[in-house]
Amino acid sequence: MADSKIVAIHQPNFFPWLGYFNKIARSDLFILMDNAQFPKTGGNWSNRVRLMINGEPQWVTVPVVRAFHGVRSVRQTLINNNAPWRVKLIKTLKTNYNHAPFFESVFTGLEELINNPTDSLADYNTAAITSLAAALRIDSSKLVLGSSLQAEGSATDLLISMIKAVGGTAYLAGGGASGYQEDEKFAAAGIQLIRQDFQHPSYAQTNSREFVPGLSIIDALMNCGFEHAAALVSSSTEVRP
């Protein structure tokens, strides 16, 4: 689409999977939706992700402060820094990935990102995503915070408002959007809807008998290194309406 400006939108996730970085790579601007509501109970991809632990995909979680009334956005959500989760996560990586082929070359950088002392969940995830995007040869200057935009509405209306706020003409939607997204509203707003349709590539996982897709980017980095992981991120970049 000539002279188009493709915008993708996603919450700032916790060490997200390969498809997340593919979405950043394929967009002209990527809005980190830190203005999305954080669930009062349970968790979501903003504070948890799966890794291979003891040969099985298991959740690792950032504990957050729950003692508040009403609702909070991801931007307002605080990390519970009283819990030693950073130490636990680093120990988990050492225990489960120390035999991965690229452990030595990627661990130090990951350890630095994990040890970020901020209590802001949005800032923590944004810092990690920005650093990892650059390491994967993705232009991290395309990242924009949703909370910095003059946007209003909810659900699909909020997405459209943010796209218009940055001058977007097309929206790159991920595979999980169909359940809540009102597709017809994009056409009515003059915005082209594009499907990401990311096909997850497989790679050798040293601590798994069979390949498990959808794990944190950490798993790909440990097993593939930055150069090969960058190639995996860009392996599905075709833009399709």
The pLDDT profile of the chain, 241 residues, written as one tens digit per residue, is 447 899 999 999 999 999 999 999 999 999 999 999 998 777 799 999 999 999 999 999 999 998 877 788 999 999 999 999 999 999 999 999 999 999 999 999 999 999 999 999 999 999 999 999 999 999 999 999 999 999 888 889 999 999 999 999 999 998 765 556 788 899 999 999 999 989 899 999 988 889 999 999 999 999 999 999 999 998 764 444 3
Decide if 178 is inside a domain. no
Any domain includes 176: no
The neighbour count for residue 37, using CB atoms within 10 Å, is: 14
Domain membership flag for residue 240: no
Residue 240 near residue 197, CB atoms below 8 Å? yes
Q: Does residue 97 lie within any of the structural domains?
A: yes
> 220 vs 12, 40, 45, 60, 176, CA distance in Å?
19, 31, 17, 16, 21
Tally of domains within the chain: 1
Residue 37 within any structural domain of the chain: yes
Structural domain includes residue 38: yes
> Helix %, strand %, coil % for the chain, to 5?
40, 15, 45
**DSSP structural state of residue 189:** T
This model's pTM is above 0.95: no
Burial of 194 (0-12, 13-18, 19+ CB in 10 A): buried
Beta strands in 88-161 (DSSP E): 143-145
The full length of the chain comes to: 241
The verdict on residue 125 lying in a domain is yes
Range of the domain at 229: 6-168+183-233
- Looking at the domain assignment, is residue 241 inside a domain? no
Q: What is the CA radius of gyration of the chain?
A: 18
